[in-house]
Amino acid sequence: MLKKEKENIIQNLVNDMSRSVIIITTDYRGLSAKEMVQLRQKLREAGVQYKVAKNTLTRFAADRAGKQQLELY
């Protein structure tokens, strides 16, 4: 991934995090592809935005958005 692409992803995450009241991180391990699709469908139905991003990029975005308390494992 190019540096410019990473910066765009970080900026998009910063924008989303800045507008968010609640941010929940998840780990996809342990879910089958079918279960992941079902989870995404239920979240979409509930009006919840679900994003997948690398932990490192998410950490950078959290710092810039003032959400340093966001913990990633």
Residue 5, H or E segment:
helix 3-19
d(CA 73, CA 26): 9
Whole-number mean pLDDT of the chain? Answer: 91
Band of residue 14 on the pLDDT scale cut at 50, 70, 90: very high
| Predicted structure pTM score | 0.81
What is the tens place of the pLDDT at every residue in 53-72?
Answer: 999 999 999 999 999 888 77
